[in-house]
Structure 1
């Protein structure tokens, strides 16, 4: 089994350069086929574990205990459905969502889609800046502003990945995800959650969302979980597998990629649930119901749990979360720029531009509000992501419903109904948020 990049590749990932570069064997045993197709789902799942998720989940767990756990689960299930649509679109058409949008819509609409997609990437990168800066601050003892400056150097990580084949990059990301997962397994073992209460929190409850504050957090959780740029990303990176263009091979690729997607996002669901459960068990159940900052969570873990190891693990997993998201954000930016604008630039330049745009609000926020800016900006960044979702969902659902485009792999009636239901729920939640922001309807 060979994994190679063209010798002309100048960056760790450029969509058009790695398409079809991961070899797959149609005659391989089923377990080996799963292994060959495993990877794109993991890269996408990284976006579901970034520091933005930490902010919303920690605040939700601290303030409301386990009662919003069902929001994490339902948001993750919605993400699985939508990422499977994105994956299928890429495999069937051999093109990604951005490329197809460029061909289908007028130039002004395409430019608008591109701007919104870029905003979502910047909002996500803002969360990575703040999360990484806070991890440096907590682990190294430097000031938060110094931590923000240190995050600017993560462009060196992208340069360090130059020339690596795509399979190697997937393995590196898998290692970072494993670090996050292991860290939370140990932390949950240390805090001893009340599992019957955890199970009760999995039951959907409208009463838990009956006031503005939990609803705002729920929308933040939704934005942190279902990320719009991940829909563009997934439709592109599934094309790294060299799949024959006959219906049987395409159907097999969809089935194997679906397993990769579901397993990866279920793991991301467990991580996000673990963050909320940790906050509920460590803070809410001990009377610390106003822990809305990641730094406060770090400071309180050691005295509450009784060991400093919990806090150190917390900081390490936070750093791993931010650094892993750095790569996927760069890849998504390349996909969006190449797809919408047919423009290619080196990955390090793409990373630098995005990071500078994210550093501006981070520096201003920290300078004006100090450490207290982190929690507010993190939650706000996730709400911004949620606001972008309908503009990525609409073309995705329309295209996967288009028989002329998808042929025999068009959405079935049940999938179509579920996809439109999710679109309505997301749009309604965003409309509510806008009305609340401008003081309409109390």
Structure 2
């Protein structure tokens, strides 16, 4: 049954309008004061979450194998992410609800609601745990490339560090740590890109003349898929309320848009910097790349003994940010669709992120190859992302819910085009996983 928006006031959870701009009712007192938010924060957390070891490795392999030919795919993925996340921002600050709460209001039929909950839990919960394990392992490997430390010890320390940050229940603490990591990422990879000095003409051609070299379609999808992440749409609507919860909606949305565009664009710039580094250090010299260590060896003539340290620190920052943001995003999404408290200090919220982190720790510590889990998660995410995009478009056109913050014609046209591309990519991805294109 197709979901139909519920009229104002029909929700069993959250009223359609919150003119007093107080907090959501999920375990949080409406009298509880909120801090005024900083100019940047939630957007940087979103950027931090999609720049993980997978993104770095994909960018390295892409730059080393096809140069800047797929740079346009990074630009598309950044534009798509900005458009979807900006809608999430308006939903969070205009209607004062999260995406998961909006889905619970719309999917009221028991069967439709059960399917929606099952899909979100499978795609974001199981997938988040699998990726957390992979991100943690990637982070630990980065450390062991520079220091003679046992991998298991490093993994345990990283898991404990993430646990310690999340158990504080403080959005401000998590925000500050992730902001520092993003700055480290940006500085390191922009410096390495400057050192190798790739040809600017090739970069501009790759940015503005789309092409897909033979055999690189899956790489194209990977570049987009590692940036447009389903749980970030859930995460962002909640984070902006944490950051700008007591501000006037007009001011809050203006600030959040600046944060979203600037932060996600910075994430794209970091991805391009990694690609540029691989282009200058490997592609132009005919050196192939299969792993990050290949890039380290190619940078040694330029950076000397500092090469492994630079790469290790950059990959550590990328892995740690993703490993931290994954359980956080999963907790917001799963608690939201189940109607549980999304207060970071509440026990339902903590239990969800603890379970996600625990499964990720088991994967990382035991050395289990999470290939089957990741394949299932990819399939679920491939199915979930188009549903989220379509649902977001439907919700953002509900003027009863959003009033003047609802989508206009431009947002609908751009959002519709991006959604069409996402649906096409999802069909191809699911077909590939099923072996249809072999």
Q: Distance in 1 between matches of 2:374 and 2:62?
A: 13
Any idea what the Cα deviations from partners look like across 1:125-145, whole Å, max 9, x if unmatched?
Answer: 234123212112212234556
The answer (yes or no) to whether the contact 2:145–2:308 under 8 Å persists in 1 is no
Contact 2:133-2:362 within 8 A present in 1 as well: no
What is aligned with 1:217?
219
Q: Deviations over 1:359-378 (max 9, x none)?
A: 455567x567xxxx99x999
Match of 2:400 among 399, 404, 411: 404
Please name the residue that 2:188 is paired with. Answer: 183
The answer (yes or no) to whether the contact 1:53–1:224 under 8 Å persists in 2 is: yes
- Describe the shift of the 1:180–1:18 C-alpha distance in structure 2 as closer, same or farther (beyond 3 A): farther
Secondary structure, counterpart of 1:334 in structure 2: helix
2:168 aligned partner:
162
Structure 2 alignment gaps of length 5 or more: 1-24, 341-345
Helix, strand or coil at the partner of 1:84: helix
- Superposed, which structure 2 residues align to 1:203-214 within 5 Å? 203-206=208-211, 208-209=212-213, 211=214, 213-214=215-216
- Per-residue CA deviations over 1:246-285 (Å, capped at 9, x if unaligned) read xxx3223212211111011111111111111111111111
**CA, structure 1 residues 184+260, in 2 after alignment: closer, same or farther (shift >3 Å)?**
same
CA contact 2:95–2:401 (8 Å) conserved in 1: yes
Any idea what SS the aligned residue of 1:355 has? helix
Partner of 1:198: 203
Helix, strand or coil for the counterpart of 2:322? helix
Q: Which whole-Å CA distance do the structure 2 matches of 1:60 and 1:295 have between them?
A: 15
1:84 and 1:261 in contact (8 A); partners too: yes
1:427 is matched with 423
In structure 2, the partner of 1:27 is none
Residue in 1 aligned with 2:324? 327
Kindly provide the CA deviation profile for residues 229-249 of structure 1, in whole angstroms up to 9, marking residues without a partner as x: 0000001111122346xxxx3
Higher fraction of helix = 1
Q: 1:346 to 1:104 in 2, by over 3 A?
A: closer
Change (3 A) 1:436 1:327: closer
Give the whole-Å Cα distance in 1 for the aligned partners of 2:58 and 2:377. Answer: 10
- 1:56 to 1:418, Cα distance in 2 relative to 1, 3 A: same
- In structure 2, distance between residues paired with 1:61 and 1:380: 28
Which of 329, 338, 344 aligns to 1:341? It is 338
What is the TM-score with the length of structure 2 in the denominator? 0.82
Tell me the number of residue pairs that the alignment of Structure 1 and Structure 2 aligns. 402
Deviation at 1:382, TM superposition (A): 7.2
CA offset digits 1:156-207 (Å, max 9, x no partner): 4326x6164x33432232212111111112212322222221222112323x
Would you say the 8 A contact 1:15–1:237 is kept in 2?
no
Measured after TM superposition, the shift of residue 327 of structure 1 is 3.0
In 1, the alpha carbon distance for the partners of 2:291 and 2:220 equals: 17
- For residues 95-123 of structure 1, the C-alpha deviation after alignment (integer angstroms, 9 at most, x for no partner) is 10011112221431332232222234234
Backbone CA RMSD of aligned residues: 3.0
> 1:23 maps to which residue?
35
Report what 1:418 is aligned to.
414
Q: Which aligned pairs between 1:20-419 and structure 2 lie closer than 5 A?
A: 21-24=33-36, 36-105=38-107, 106=109, 107-115=113-121, 116-142=123-149, 144=151, 147-158=154-165, 162=168, 164=170, 166-206=171-211, 208-209=212-213, 211=214, 213-240=215-242, 241-243=244-246, 249-289=248-288, 291-302=289-300, 304-343=301-340, 344-345=346-347, 349-359=351-361, 362=364, 385-386=381-382, 388-419=384-415
SS in 1 for 2:411: helix
Deviations 1:264-308 (Å, cap 9, x if unpaired)? 11111111111111111111111112x121233234321x42512
The 1:72–1:379 alpha-carbon spacing in structure 2 relative to 1, beyond 3 Å, is farther
Question: 2 CA distance for matches of 1:363 and 1:380?
Answer: 21
Distance in 2 (alpha carbons) for counterparts of 1:102 and 1:266? 31
Contact (CA 8 Å) 1:158, 1:348: kept in 2 or not?
no
Distance 1:178 1:221, change over 3 A: same
Kept in 2: contact 1:224–1:382 (CA 8 A): no
Q: Deviations over 1:402-421 (max 9, x none)?
A: 22221121111121121121
The offset of 1:65, in angstroms, is 0.9
Q: Are 1:52 and 1:124, in contact at CA under 8 Å, matched by a contact in 2?
A: no
Aligned equivalents of 1:354, 1:99: Cα separation in 2? 21
Change (3 A) 1:433 1:183: same
Name whichever of 257-266 and 390-399 sits farther off.
390-399
Q: Say if 2:130 and 2:363, in contact at 8 Å, map to a contact too.
A: no
Structure 1 stretch displaced more, 262-271 or 389-398: 389-398
